Chain A
Amino acid sequence: MDFALTGMKVLDFTHVLAGPYCTQMLADMGADVIKIENPATNAEARGGGPFVKGESATFMMVNRNKRSLTLNLKDPRGKEILLKLAKDADVLVQNFRPGTMERLGLGYETLRELNRGLIYCSISGFGLNGPYKDHGGYDLMAQGLSGLMSVSGEPGGVPLKVLSICDFGTGMLSCWAILVAYIERLWSGEGQIVDASLIDTPFFFLRKQLLEYFTSDKVPGPTGWWDVTNAPYQAFETKGGDWINVAGHSAFVWPRFCELIGISELVKDPRFATGHLRHSHREELADILQAAFLTKTSDEWLTLLQQAGVPCGPINTVEQILADAHAAAREMVVERVHPTVGPFKMLGIPVKLSETPGQIRTAAPRLGEHTAEILRSLGYSEAEIETFKKEGAV
């Protein structure tokens, strides 16, 4: 099998979720990712709970396809090994607080002198500039500060955290940026700094709310199971207390949707004549539709709506979607054997490429699993490796 990113060498100094997710996306497509870890670290600091047979399971969800090299960067020998690797690397990704790499003597300017093509990606809470650049920040802070929490949840309810979307979104966006810089480097031969932050990411997702705010000057609030701009495009309760999602909002679908639910006079109702009007009268509309949806079960409605070509779907639990034929057909769950933990399930590659689909080759590495192998390939002797280990340099 061909891999699109075969030959790309990545040094990965990341922990928690955003950074590891970024480098995992590169590793899935064939990049050689070496995770540099502190030999004194433990499962708690590596990725936190839950733990399986002493390993951090969270770590295992975002570090597959990588090798682990332990290096004590405060030991001159550890640093020397690192500089050898950096000289030859294409990409370095780190998510320490701004300034930490510089203190270790591993800042961009230093490494650029060794390797002018190095793409140096920094992932931080607030980015490399601005008044908060030195603050630590997590996904939760970015969700709160950006307004993302204020638009999720029920009106009047608590502000809602949406998954760890600032972490994963930042991982995804920094991967995109690294690939852009890598392509540019093919022509220019020059690397650069790629500066991603958890606070930038939510704005990428907030553009519909920003549009609403900038065009109406109304501050958008949480919309529960509604949508910001479309109606009816929401969840309805059905007979038996279950819920389904229905999208009858488009001009194309609206007439057949009205027909199907048996209220064809809605099509002529001037309150609901255009998409804009349907949205401005969405509460009146939802009341009418909700009453209709209570007359049949979810399964009955989904069958009818699908036959009529009205986009719709069940509201599943995680258990239900994992058992659904879709998850299997899309290979959204894969299992690999971890040397300590044994068989371990993780999530598949979320975009399907026909020629270079990528591959999940290995489970996440154990701490320092590949230290000796990597040092050998750098030309260190077995005796040297033993000494380094004994003296805590690796």
Chain B
Amino acid sequence: MSDQTNSSTTWPADPMLDPSLPLSRMKIMDITSAMAGPCCSEMLADMGADVIKIESPSLTPDSRGGPPVVKGESGGFLIVNRNKRSLTLNLKDPRGKEIFLALAKNADVLLENVRPGTLDKLGLGYEDVKKVNPAIIYASISGFGKTSPYAKLGGYDAIAQGISGMMLSIGEEGRPPVKAGVPLSDFGASIFTAYGILVAYIYRVKTGKGQPFSPSPGDGGKGQLIDTALLDVPIALQVKQMLYYFLNGKLARRMGSGDMDAGPYRAFKTKDGGITLGGTNVNLWPKMCKALGVEELINDPRFDTPANRNKNGAELTELFKPLLMTKTTGEWLASLRANGVPAGPVNNLAQAVADPQVKARELIVEVDHPKVGKFPVVGMPVKFSRTPGKIRRPPPMLGEHTDEILAAMGYDPAHIGALRADGVV
């Protein structure tokens, strides 16, 4: 019952695009919520991609992401959605669907993490979008992936951590399962998917019309489907645990703050806090013993080689525990660093954020949100010498750019008003 077919076929480009940024030619439709999907598109947006976030008009500002609510906005949304614009679209309405497909026709990438099967049911799955745009890179993030026996089940980060074996790989022997405090499956899926998208984009440029370097790389080229499962992330990242199991069919011990094959590579309590020690290899062991004032251990037959230190790791740990308690973290660090031994404090988050290195690396930066005000977010996770990423926009308010985007697609104000009145946008 679409009342008018919109003839515009151009992408409604972000007027605030920065053409000097590396991905400024990349056009992305973002149909994601929670953490894994939004963080993935944010990684591309930070590097200049033009990301349009498509959200349901029935959402409210505090229901777009997880808690806490900050001045009426969902905090969970604010931490993974900067540099994007927001368009509200009711995808169950044929007019909403039409706008969606008009965008898809000109997009390079479509990223989604809605419940498995939902977009297919709406006629907006990969096969449908491919019909209007064979070059589309359609990336899908789900709990279990499209080819898993569990493909239809919903999944979250914690569930992936549990199923993957990870909750029983980390933690301490004899204790209940523990989760990594951070949502590793979510954010790991963000990075792996961004990697998949960039790889697919390079392939698409290579197979496109304007060989070798098209001025408009979006023209033609081969698209594809990218399928990421949250569950695959903690499986892939348990490299050492899996290795031990592959080699001898035994489960690796849970090591608390330590590691399986490198002693003493772990955290110790000090007089006033905690410290991590990394002086385990052949070159560093004598230096570490010197820094800790236990030169007699250097050639002690129980600990003189990495293999012996590993074999007698428990004994060495018991020797180190009371020793490290005799001085403060700061005193030990001064001595260890003077001897060139890798070591560091065990910080809480307040201490970490205040650390001079963390400041120097600009790991916490501010966005200025029209409603929330100045709000701290995580900075660029890798530094580029010539094309550093940039925060051009704060996370968008719900539907903030609907009018602007529709107008750029050729809709007149009366038409947009009618769509809004009908709950289509």
Given the known interface contacts A154-B175, A207-B378, A306-B153, the answer about A4 and B243 at a Cβ–Cβ threshold of 8 Å is no
**Chain A CB within 8 A of B129 CB:** no
Is the pair B202, A131 in contact by a Cβ cutoff of 8 Å? no
A184-197 vs B, CB cutoff 8 Å, 1 = contact: the mask equals 10110010111111
How distant is the Cα of A350 from the Cα of B236 in the complex, in angstroms? 6
User: Is A146's beta carbon under 8 Å from chain B?
Assistant: yes
Task: Report if A229-B382 is in contact (Cβ < 8 Å); known contacts: A48-B261, A326-B149.
Answer: no
Assembly CA distance A278 to B66 (angstroms): 12
Decide if A210 touches B342 in the complex (CB within 8 Å): no
A interface bracket (residues with beta carbon within 8 Å of B): 35 or more
A114 CB to nearest chain B CB (Å) = 17
Q: By CB atoms of chain A within 10 A, which of B154, B225, B229, B361 has the most?
A: B361
Best-buried of A128, A140, A209, A214 by chain B (most CB within 10 Å): A140
A219 B378 Cβ-Cβ under 8 A: no
Q: Are B159 and A332 in contact (CB under 8 A)?
A: no
Contact string, B217-231, partner A, CB cutoff 8 A, digits 1/0? 100001111111101
Which 10 residue pairs are nearest across A and B when measured between Cβ atoms? A130-B360, A151-B181, A184-B22, A147-B352, A141-B344, A4-B203, A193-B385, A318-B165, A355-B224, A350-B236
Chain A nearest Cβ from B67, distance in angstroms: 5
Q: Would you call A125 and B381 a contact (CB within 8 A)? A: no
Bound CA–CA A43/B194 (angstroms): 34
Closest to A206 in B: B182
Could you say which of A73-81, A230-238, A384-392 contacts chain B? A230-238
Answer yes or no: B164 CB below 8 A from chain A CBs.
Answer: yes
Query: For the complex, is B282 an interface residue (Cβ under 8 Å from A)?
Result: yes
Do A186 and B191 contact each other (CB < 8 Å), given the known contacts A159-B267, A215-B70, A353-B196? Answer: no
On whether A48 and B199 interact (CB within 8 A), knowing A320-B165, A345-B246, A354-B225, the answer reads no
Among B79, B184, B236, chain A packs the most CB atoms within 10 A around the CB of: B236
Q: Which residues of B contact A200 (CB under 8 A)?
A: 361, 363, 381-383
Q: In whole angstroms, how far apart are the Cα atoms of A176 and B182 in the complex? A: 20
Residue ID in chain B nearest A315 by CB atoms: B162
| Residues of A contacting B196 in the complex (Cβ-Cβ under 8 angstroms) | 351, 353
Contact B274 A204 (CB under 8 A): no
| B:151-172 near A, CB below 8 Å | 153-156, 158-172
- B177 contacts the other chain (Cβ, under 8 Å)? yes
B178 and A152 contact, CB distance less than 8 A? yes
Asked if residues A181 and B384 are in contact (CB atoms below 8 Å), the reply is: yes
**In contact, B187 and A204 (Cβ under 8 angstroms):** yes
Q: How far is the CA of A152 from the CA of B171 in the complex (A)?
A: 9
Instruction: State the Cβ distance, B25 to closest chain A Cβ, in Å.
Output: 8
Q: How far is the CB of B19 from chain A (nearest CB, A)?
A: 10
A358 to B162 Cα, complex, angstroms: 28
* Interfacial residues of chain B within 24-68, with CB under 8 A of chain A in the complex: 25, 35, 39, 43, 47, 63, 66-68
Q: Please, how many angstroms separate the alpha-carbon atoms of A25 and B191 in the complex?
A: 12
Closest B residue to A220 by CB, please name it: B349
CB-based nearest A residue for B246:
A345
Q: Which A-chain residue is minimally distant from B310 (CB atoms)?
A: A49
Separation in Å of the B410 CB from the closest CB of chain A?
A: 29
